[in-house]
Structure 1
Amino acid sequence: MKCTRVARVAGAVVLATLTVAPGTALASAGDRGSELSGEVVAAYQRDLGLNADQAVERVGLERTAAANQKAARELTGAAYGGAWFDAASGKLVVGVTDEGKTRVVQALGAEAKVVPHTAASLTDTKNKIDQAGKAPSAVTGWYVDERANSVVVTVRRGVVDDEVAKFLDVAKAAGPVSVVETDRAPRVYADIRGGDAYNINNASRCSIGFAVSGGFVSAGHCGSAGDSVTSGGQSMGTFEGSSFPGNDYSYVKTGSGWTPSPTVNHYGGADVVVSGSTESAVGASVCRSGSTTGWHCGTVQAKDQTVNYQEGSVSGLTRTNACAEPGDSGGSWVSGTEAQGVTSGGSGDCTSGGETYFQPVNEILSVYGVSLITG
C-alpha cells in the first residue's frame, strides 16, 4: 500500500498570521526562466505553441505559482480545496470551501474559487477507492481533479458490464466521483528490446531518471532489487531497491567508475541542467526525456492519480498530456530546470498523442534517503 506523507512547513503559526499587501505575491521564485536553453524553448514552441518570450514568461509565472501554492495551503487551512495554474491568466487558482478565505488567497496575488469539497475530503475519497480491492481491467485509473473539485474515475469507452458497474458503485459511495470514458488503456513503458540508455539483466531497456548520491533513480517496473544494470555493454551497477506495483520507483546503485551528473539528455540539443526539485502546480508545463522518443512537453493534468495497470494499481502518480512510448520508462520529467519525476506509463504514443504518468521524484528521494545531484 502506498504511504501518504503529509508535508509540514516550519513556522506555520507565523504564516497563518502573516499580513500580505493585496495583489502582491507572497513569494517570487525568481527569474530563472531566463536560463532556458534554445533547445528547451524549441520544445515549448513545438509542443505548447509558445515562442521564446512566452516560454520564459510562463516558466517564471509557474515558479511563482509553485512557491505560492505552499503558502496558500497553509493560510487557508481546513478550507483548502486544491490549486492549479491557469495558463490563460498566468496565475495560481486556489479552491476554498470558506468564502471568508478568498481575501487571503487574493492577497497572495492568486485567484480564489469557492468550491464544495476540501482537498482533504477528495484525497480521502480517492484513498477509499484505493482500498476497495482490485479494479476490473476496464477501469483504467482514478485521480483527484482539482479543477472539477471531484475524483475522476476513467473507464474504457463502452464497457458497462456488472463488474465495472459494481466497482463504480463502490467508488461513488466513497465521495464526490465522476466517471469519464477513455479510448486508451495505460501500460508500463518498459520495452524488452535492449540497447539504448540502460539495460536490465542484459534484456529489457529503460531510461535513467535523475542522478542522485550513489547512483540514479528510475521506474520500479524496470527491475527488481538485485537485478544487474549495464550501459553500452559496460557493467553499471544493480538495483538497490524497487517498488512496483503500489508505487513505481527504483534506486540503482552504480559502481565507482560512474560519475553522477546534474543533467538531463535533451536529445539533439544541449543538456538541461537540473537546479532543484520544486513541485509544479496542476496546469504547469512539463517536459520529459526518454531513450525511445527523446524530448517532449505537455502540461500537468492532475496529481495523486491511481493508475490501474494490468500488473496492478499504482497510486500517487502525476497525470500529463505529454506523449511517451515503451523504453521511455524511468526517464526524467522537468519543469523548466526543476526535477519533477520519472516516467511510469501511459496510453497512446508520440504519433497519435495520449496521456503519460510520472512518479514524483521527491517521494523517491525521501524513500531511499538519497540526494538529487543539481547544477
Structure 2
Amino acid sequence: MSHKRIPKRKAAIAAGGVVALGVAAILLPNANASQGNSAGSTAPKTFKATDASDLASQLAGALGDAYAGSYYDSAARQLVVNVVAGSGDNVVAKAEKAGAKVRQVQNSTAELTAAAKVLKTKATIPGTSWAVDPKTDSIQVTADSTVTGAKWNTLTSTVKSLGTGMAAVRKTSGALKPLVAGGDAIFAQTDQGGVRCSLGFNVTAGDGTPAFLTAGHCGVAAKEWSDSETGQPIATVDQANFPGAGDFSLVKYDDPATQTASEVNVGNGQTVQITGAVDATVGETVFRMGSTTGLHDGQVTGLDATVNFQSETDPNGVDTVTGLIQTNVCAEAGDSGGSLFTQDGGAVGLTSGGSGDCTSGGETFFEPVTGALTATGATLGDGGAGAGATADPSATAADPSATAADPSATAADPSATAADPTATAADPSATAGDQSGTGDQSGTGADDGSALTSSR
C-alpha cells in the first residue's frame, strides 16, 4: 500500500468513524423531556433514551443507598427507577419530581454487588456470565452449553446460597467466546494463521495522532493490522486490554496523515453520523455493525456484566472480563470490535463476545466506549491531517424513517450475498474508504442499511 494513497482516503476500513463533537453534557433532570408536567405533578415524563441515561446517572448520586438501579421503558419512553422499599416518601418524591417512574424493590445495589462478588469467588467458570437486571431486581446468571456436570452443580448451588430472589440461572445455546475469526475487514497475521476483527470507532489518541478503537482480544492476538487480507499493515496496536477490566484496544494509524471517517457504514453506501460517546441504558434499542453479519439491532439487557470466557491459551484456564454491556443483539465470529451505537448517532460499545449466532439468535457483550476512551486517553474525533475531514458526500445517511422490517430490505435479500464477487477484500481498485470494497457490508445477509430503526 503506497504512502501517497493514504491521505486521499477516508479512514481505513469504513466500519466506524466519529466526528469531534465530544461527549454530550449531563442534562438537568427535567431538560429535554418531550412532554412536560405542571408544577407539583408527579406523573412520569417521557424522554429519549440518551436523556433518560443522563437522568439515571444523576439520580444514582442524588438518592444514595436508596437507589437500586434503573431501566428505560422504550414503549412508554419513561425512565423507571428502583428505590429500596422503606427508604421514605422523600426519596420517592425526589425521583418523581425529576420525571422518573418509581418502583419499590427489595434488593439494594449494595446487596446485589455483594452477591456478584460471591459469584466471582465461587463460580468463575468458563462459559458463564452475570449482570444485574434492574427489571427483575436480581442478578441474571447465564451458562452456555459447555457448563455441565460438576460445573453446573457448582454454579446452581452458589446461586441458591445467595438467597431467594437474589439471582437466577438460565441456559443458553452455543458457547460464550470472543468473536474473532479469519476473513476480511481488518486483518492480522499470527503464528496460528490469519485473524479478522472489525473496526469500532475512529478516535484521536492522547498524543494527537489518528487511531481507532477495537476489541482488546484483537489487540492481544496481533500487533499489526491491515485493511485487506493480503495488504501491508496500516496500523499498530498502542494499547490492548484483555482479559480483566474491559476488552478494548487503541490502534494507531502508521501514517499520521491518515484521514478519519466521521460515520458508521451500515451498508448499501449508507452511513450514520456519530455525534459522541454515550452510556448504555437497560431497555434502550441499539444497533451493531460488524464485518461478518452487518447491521443488527436489539436491546440492552444488562450493565457491568462479568463474562468468563474459556481461555484460548490454557485449556484449564478462564479469561474473565468485567464491566461489559449485555444485549440481545446477535453477532458472529469476525464481528469483534465492531460498532454498537444508537439511532441518533451515539457511540455506545465495541463488540467483545457472546453466544449463539444471527440465525438462531443469541446474546452479545460489549466494551463501553466511554470506558475505553477514559482508559486509553483517546477522544472521539478526527486526528492528524484528517482533522476537519467531512463524511464522503457520495455516501448517504441512513434513512431514519425506514423500518428494519421493511420488506424491501430483508435479511434474506437474495441480491446481497456475503461472497459478492464484485467487492473482494483484495480488490486493488478498492481503497479502504471505498464503500464498494473492503468496507462493503451490503452483502452480509443482514440489514442492508436502508432500515435504521428497530425491528422490535
The TM-score normalised by the length of structure 1 is 0.79
Which residue identity is paired with 1:252? V
Alignment match, 1:360: 368
Q: CA offsets, 1:141-197, max 9 Å, x none?
A: 11111111111211247966233322433344456222222233222110123xx32
Q: Which one of 113, 129, 132 corresponds to residue 103 of structure 2?
A: 113
Query: What is the CA RMSD across the aligned residues, in angstroms?
Result: 2.7
CA contact (8 A) 1:342 1:360 kept: yes
- With over 3 angstroms needed to count, the CA separation of the structure-2 counterparts of 1:29 and 1:235, relative to structure 1, is farther
Contact conserved, 2:66 with 2:108, CA < 8 A, in 1?
Answer: yes
Work out the CA distance in 2 between the residues paired with 1:30 and 1:237: 44
Taking a change above 3 Å as real, the CA distance of residues 269 and 283 of structure 1, as seen in their structure-2 partners, is farther
Match of 1:217 in 2: 213
2:286 is equivalent to residue 278 of structure 1: no
- Which residue matches 1:243? 241
Q: Deviations over 1:27-75 (max 9, x none)?
A: 32789xxxxxxxxxxxxxxxxxxxxxxxxxxx96212212211222122
- Greater CA deviation, 139-148 or 335-344? 139-148
Equivalent residue for 1:166? 154
CA distance in 1 between partners of 2:132 and 2:143 (Å): 15
**Aligned pair 1:95/2:82, yes or no?**
yes
Q: 1:358 offset after TM fit, Å?
A: 0.7
- Name 1:206's counterpart in structure 2: 197
TM-superposed CA distance for 1:298, in Å, is 0.8
Partner SS for 2:202: strand
Larger RCO (CA under 8 A, 6+ residues apart): 2
Give me the whole-angstrom Cα distance separating, in 1, the residues matched to 2:123 and 2:263: 40
Aligned to 1:229: 225
Q: Distance in 2 between matches of 1:266 and 1:371?
A: 22
Determine what percentage of the aligned residue pairs are the same residue.
36
Say whether the 8 Å CA contact 2:47–2:77 is kept in structure 1. Answer: no
Stretch deviating more after TM superposition (345-354 or 284-293): 345-354
Which amino acid in structure 1 is aligned with residue 32 of structure 2?
S
Unaligned runs of 5+ in 1: 1-14, 32-58
Q: 2:30 aligns with which of 6, 26, 32?
A: 26
Task: Between 298-307 and 178-187, report the one with greater CA deviation.
Answer: 178-187
Q: Which amino acid aligns with 2:334?
A: G
**1:304 maps to which residue?**
304
Q: Which has the higher helix share?
A: 1
Query: For residues 199 and 78 of structure 2, what CA distance do their matches in structure 1 show?
Result: 33
One-letter amino acid of the structure 2 residue matched with residue 191 of structure 1: A
Instruction: Give the counterpart letter for 2:213 in structure 1.
Output: V
- Which 10-residue stretch deviates more, 198-207 or 214-223? 198-207
Aligned position for 1:322: 329
SS class of match (1:309): strand
2:66 maps to 79
One-letter identity of the residue aligned with 1:126: A
Partner-residue secondary structure (3-state), 1:142? strand
Match of 2:137 in 1: 149
Q: Report the more deviating stretch, 354-363 or 254-263.
A: 254-263
Shift of 1:226: 6.8
Change (3 A) 1:105 1:229: same
Structure 2 stretches lacking a partner, 5+ long: 1-26, 36-45, 312-318, 383-389, 391-456
- AA aligned to 1:319 is Q
Q: Distance in 2 between matches of 1:250 and 1:288?
A: 18
Structure 1 stretches of at least 4 aligned residues deviating more than 6 Å after TM superposition: none
How big is the shift at 1:313? 2.0
Which residue in 1 is equivalent to 2:128?
140
Contact 1:225/1:242, CA 8 A, preserved across alignment: no
Q: Tell me what 1:263 maps to.
A: 263
Letter of the 1:210 partner, please give it.
F
Count of equivalent residues: 323
Change (3 A) 1:359 1:61: same
- Larger Cα-atom Rg: 2
